[in-house]
Amino acid sequence: MGIIKQVAGPVVIASDMRGTEMNELVEVGKDSLIGEVIELKDDTATIQVYEETSGIQPGEDVERTGEPLSVELGPGLIGTIFDGIQRPLTQIQNKVGAFIERGVQTNSLPRDKEWKFEPSDLSTGDKVEAGTILGTVEETSMIVHKIMVPPSVEEGELVELASEGEYTVEETIAKVETDDGEEEVNMVQEWPVRKPRPYQNKLDPNIPLTSGQRVIDTFFPVAKGGTAAIPGGFGTGKCVVGETPIILADGSVKPIEEVYEENKDRGERTVKANEEYTELEDPIKILSMGDGEIVEKEATHVYKGMTDSTKVIETESGRKVELTPVHKLFVLTQDLNIVEKQAKDLEKGDTLLIPRKIPGKENSPEINVNESLPEKRVCNEDFEKVREAIEKLSEELGSRKNLSKKLEISEEVLAEYALGRNRPTVQVSSKIFDLAGWDHEIRTVKGEKNSKKVEIPQEMSEELSEFLGLLLGDGSLKPGSVHFYNNNEKLLSRFEKLVDEIFDLETEREFARTVKSVKVNSRVLKDFLVSLGFPEDKKSNNCSVPEKVLQSSETAIGSFLKGYYLADGSFNKYEIEISTASRGMAQDLTYCLARIGASSRLREKEIEDAEYYRVKVSGSELEQFYEKTNSSHEKYDEILEYLEESDDHFKGSDSVRISPEVVRENFEKSEKSRKDFKDKGIKIANYTTQRENMSVPLLQRFSEITDNRELKKVAQNHLNHFMPDQIKSVKTIEKTKPVYDVTVPETHNFVGGNAPMVLHNTVMLHQIARWSDTQIVVYVGCGERGNEMTDVILHFPELEDPRTGNPIIDRTSLIANTSNMPVAAREASIYTGITIAEYFRDMGYHVALMADSTSRWAEALREISGRLEEMPSEEGYPAYLGSRLADFYERAGRVKTKGREDRKGSVTVMGAVSPPGGDFSEPVTQNTLRIIKTFWALDSDLADERHFPAINWLESYSGYLDRVDTWWEENVGEGWKENRNRAMEILQEEDELREIVQLVGPDALPERDRAVLEASKVIREDYLQQNAMHEVDTYCSPKKQLEMFDIALKFYDETVGAVEEGASVEEVTRIPIRGKIARMKRFPEEKFEEEAEKIKESIENQVEKVLSGEEIETIDREEEE
């Protein structure tokens, strides 16, 4: 047992440690913190501690374990999120909560879980060796975990092999007789993280790791078992366009772009080439779908990115949203399961879930007169209170003069106020009350001389809400008056009564052409209504529900809807309808209706070049509307008469597409007769043979009779809160535009859209993780900021593997070590990750390890080195930085594994480098470049031009070109390397010409050089540029890549050759086929070969026509773009 002598951050020095070995694991202090011995001198050991060391005192004990820092390897690695020393974060959270306590211990792999073990075909007496497969366990839907003889058992004879069955990882599944005796083998191995796992021999890295990204696969490939580096993080986004409304928890509805702009500077802001986001210091409160209902949640980040392709989803209820193809929406399947589907996978007829009711505040917002009418004059009791305050303050400050200075007004003006000769403004009065320390609310105001006083209500009351509903439905404002038009005497009288009760104002009747009206002569009232958001002109097409109404209680919103419906609504047969020419009003009305639990349908129609909107409510929602907005008016008598006619008001707007098999299965399991169901109003044949939609009320009744728990959960819980809404159309828009998102950590969605919908929020992930030709992904978040790692942890499990449709987490292991975690654990994290990767390699799998980022790992080395007082090298990094990086990257490779079987596996290491300021000359980047074989240099200028992937083809390189050439020739087609080299020469020449153009302009170039500039765009823009958000272009197979390469080079050769023969640059580079070449990346794989041949023929024919002088229609620059 050792004794602590000194503590310096993560470094602890202990004495009495004689006999301790290098890299031995120790337990430090009374909390048994995990540490590793990194230096020995006599009986003194230097220990790096993997947990926070604050509070540790000299004199506390250090316990040896006799073991090196190791990881557990076995079933349970896939899908688990570990910290840097392989502690499972989920288990730690269950044990101690959201914050990791010091000294917490837990097994890396679950000990109580039983795995179904299937033995191999080995028999008792067979010779086995390290790596021999004893059996398999299906760890996930995508990964079969191979249970191997551990490396510690070099060879021996199989004595016993467990039969098929359920076993924990600690139970013995085999016994092997060795020279040292009988060894028991279970499903878990331990291996030191700093020691490479053994293999038979390394193989040449001559098979490319294809990723479907053209600039990587064909220009700068990395081989399986190779090494690559990329400066910066990985990312693609899932967002909505800027005008998409989002509802905040206070009830207000704002475009998401406005929400972003208001909050982008309220926290830690990160700006990258094509995206920016802010981790908010004070999260925004929004509404979100959680556990089957709409609840209040916090959005922790706001995000802005770019896309050049969006999907417009329109539903039968009239809801419409434009979002990126990878954005998810909630879908109710015919099997009555709720799933998330990306927009690109949605089809006409799919059923989305729409909120029936949006929760709001219990109390309505207060009305601050100082904010609404600061320049109006106080009167009555408020004026007397001001004079009283002036007298009090004058005494306290010694004179009116001193008070006037405080108020920043003249002494003469203040005297006028004090003597009652003049009335101060609301703004000045409020300042006086604040100075006096009085909590006095101003309520009575007037304008200039001879104007009428107006009582301003304290809050958005039910009466004020109803008044606003009536006025917005059938009213208008003029410079000095307010007008309400309607021929219904009851409504006119009601409006007059509200004006009197709320504002204490008189009214007068008028007759405007064919319409009766009520007029209120009051400029103050008009200005007050404008302050609430009432439009001063063109009310019909630019009005909306006042924000304070949206923020009000359910009863106040019901009163507003009552007023608006009475003024501008109608009842027709079985539904109410409210018409408006304002898109904003239509949108806000749907949100108001959802607040009272009456989900609506929205219709849009163009009449004489103008858009009109109709908001409709029917079915069970009509009952809710009547209950929440009921009035004694005859318009409500019509609704009541309809509702009392029959108990069944279903008119097809609230139904679900239900699979006949689901109905049949639940019917049969219920063991009830068809008559039993018929007596409850359900004819089974209607839904099994005639395949009718089932109304939600009937489905709820059906779930009660069948007593199916899962069916009840959907029918009686989810569908009580959400209305099924079938997709009417899905359209694709190819246009570059900004997109926005908010991050909601717990539920990953928010309520928004032109009418309330549940929209999924964003994450950032790398294309290689999805599309690379590997079976296993190990992601090491090494020192990343907490918000970035949160994105990965929350959303990686939701990412879909495009080849199988299963979650990508089913083949992924995550190591999460954020920048605020102990620095020593950051140093260990990449070794933990590479050891897990080697273990799966030994099974014969191809593994991609992504270390993000090695720069922050190197910073951990620098900090520990400084604590050890070692001699620093360049920029303070230790002199052994290069060798440590080499030790890590050299563990990559394609190998022949240990074991009897002929297995080959690989670990491909891709490290993200984060050079400060993009400086590639800094030590971490330079040392990395000396080791790795492939370098993908990200270019901010390309990103600014919206060229993605933003990999600079002149700075990037690959050392695997000669090695993978044979694979391309044998598996894809001939000419890959020749095409690649020619394209690089062309792009190099183009870059040189562009520099000349910047100096002298394009007109000074010879014709051939101008042709090179134009023709090379096909390679640069149509081949290298790729859209990760496009459902087709997101992945390009090697065969399609080679075909596209041929087309790009053929266009270049034909056009440049034609110009050399005298053809016009403008004509030959803008032949009609040029537009189709620009679109070829979006042609589906199955049709591409046929289209490619047609494109090549067209290039030849059209260039020949240009050379022969034939008339040919050329495309313009806009079409080319």
pLDDT for 236: 33
**157 φψ region: left (φ > 0), alpha (ψ -120 to 50), beta (else):** beta
CA 341/CA 473 separation, integer angstroms: 39
For residue range 489-504, what is the model confidence (pLDDT) as tens digits? 999 999 999 999 999 9
Among residues of the chain, what percentage have pLDDT more than 70? Answer: 92
pLDDT in tens, 1022-1039: 999 887 767 788 889 999
Q: Which two tokens stand for residue 140?
A: 């996930």
pLDDT-based confidence at 695, cuts 50/70/90?
confident
Q: Is the pLDDT score of 1120 beyond 60?
A: no
State mean pLDDT over 440-460. Answer: 89
* Whole-number pLDDT of residue 762: 39
Q: In this structure, what token pair is assigned to residue 958?
A: 């690959």
Report pLDDT for 573: 82
Residue 483 has pLDDT above 50, yes or no: yes
Looking at residue 58, its pLDDT comes to: 94
Task: Specify the range with the lowest mean pLDDT, choosing from 140-149, 280-289, 933-942, 954-963.
Answer: 933-942
Q: What is the mean pLDDT of residues 114-123?
A: 95
Label residue 175 by pLDDT band (50, 70, 90).
Answer: very high
Distance CA 132, CA 862 (A): 41
| Residue 227 pLDDT greater than 60, yes or no | yes
- Is residue 417 very low, low, confident or very high in pLDDT (cuts 50, 70, 90)? very high
Can you point out the beta strands (E) in 761-859?
776-784, 812-818, 846-852
Give yes or no for residue 760 having a pLDDT over 70. no
Query: Which CATH number fits the domain 114-190, given the four candidates 1.10.3720.10, 3.20.20.70, 2.40.50.100, 3.10.20.600?
Result: 2.40.50.100
Alpha-carbon dihedral 529, 534, 537, 543, rounded to 10 degrees: -170
pLDDT of 918 = 61
pLDDT at 778: 93
* The CA-based dihedral angle spanning residues 831, 837, 840, 842, taken in that order and rounded to the nearest 10 degrees: -70
For the domain bounded by 191-236+764-952, which CATH number is listed? 3.40.50.300
Assign 821 a pLDDT band (cuts: 50, 70, 90).
low
pLDDT at 471: 95
Question: Can you tell me the distance from the alpha carbon of 406 to that of 248, in angstroms, rounded to the nearest whole number?
Answer: 39
pLDDT above 90 (res 1116): no
- For residues 276 and 304, the answer to whether their CB atoms sit within 8 Å is yes
Instruction: Tokens for 824, please give them.
Output: 């020593």
Q: At 653, is the pLDDT very low, low, confident or very high (cuts 50, 70, 90)?
A: low
pLDDT at position 761? 47
Q: Where are any strands of DSSP class E within 934-988? A: 934-935, 957-958
Task: Give the CATH class of 369-446.
Answer: mainly alpha
Say if domain 461-602 classifies as CATH 3.10.28.10. yes
Yes or no: say if 355 and 758 are a contact pair by the CB < 8 Å rule: yes
Reported as a single tens digit per residue, the pLDDT across 847-867 is 999 888 788 889 888 988 888
When pLDDT is averaged across residues 638-666 and rounded to a whole number, the result is 78
| Tokens (6 digits) for 429 | 């009065």
Q: Sort 924 into a burial class: Cβ within 10 Å, 0-12 / 13-18 / 19+.
A: buried
pLDDT tens digits, one per residue of 308-326:
788 899 999 888 888 888 7
Residue 856 or 399, more confident: 399
Domain 240-343+728-760 fold: Endonuclease - Pi-scei; Chain A, domain 1 (2.170.16)
What are the residue boundaries of the structural domains of the chain, listed by start?
Answer: 1-69, 114-190, 191-236+764-952, 240-343+728-760, 369-446, 461-602, 655-722, 972-1121
- Categorize the per-residue pLDDT at 476 as very low, low, confident or very high, splitting at 50, 70 and 90: very high
Reply yes or no on whether the pLDDT at 909 is more than 90: yes
352, 357, 358, 360 alpha-carbon torsion, rounded to 10°:
180
User: Mean pLDDT over residues 595-614, rounded?
Assistant: 85
- Fold type of domain 972-1121: 1.10.1140
Which of 233, 409, 135 has the alpha carbon at shortest distance from 852? 233
User: Hey, what amino acid is at 597?
Assistant: G
Amino acid identity of 628? K
**Res 735 pLDDT > 90:** no
In the block, which residue shows the tokens 């910073």?
Answer: 859
741 DSSP β-pair partners: 303
Residue 78, pLDDT above cutoff 80:
yes
Confidence of residue 1114 (pLDDT cuts 50, 70, 90): low
At 1119, is the pLDDT very low, low, confident or very high (cuts 50, 70, 90)? very low
CATH number at 1-69: 2.40.30.20
CB-based contact 877:923 (threshold 8 Å): yes
Q: Which of 88, 292, 97 has the alpha carbon at shortest distance from 814?
A: 88
Supply the pLDDT for residue 981.
95
Q: What is the mean pLDDT of residues 285-296?
A: 80
In a 13 Å sphere around the CA of 25, the CA atoms on its Cβ side amount to: 16
Confidence at residue 678, expressed as pLDDT on a 0 to 100 scale: 92
Which of helix, strand or coil describes residue 561? helix
DSSP state of 197: P
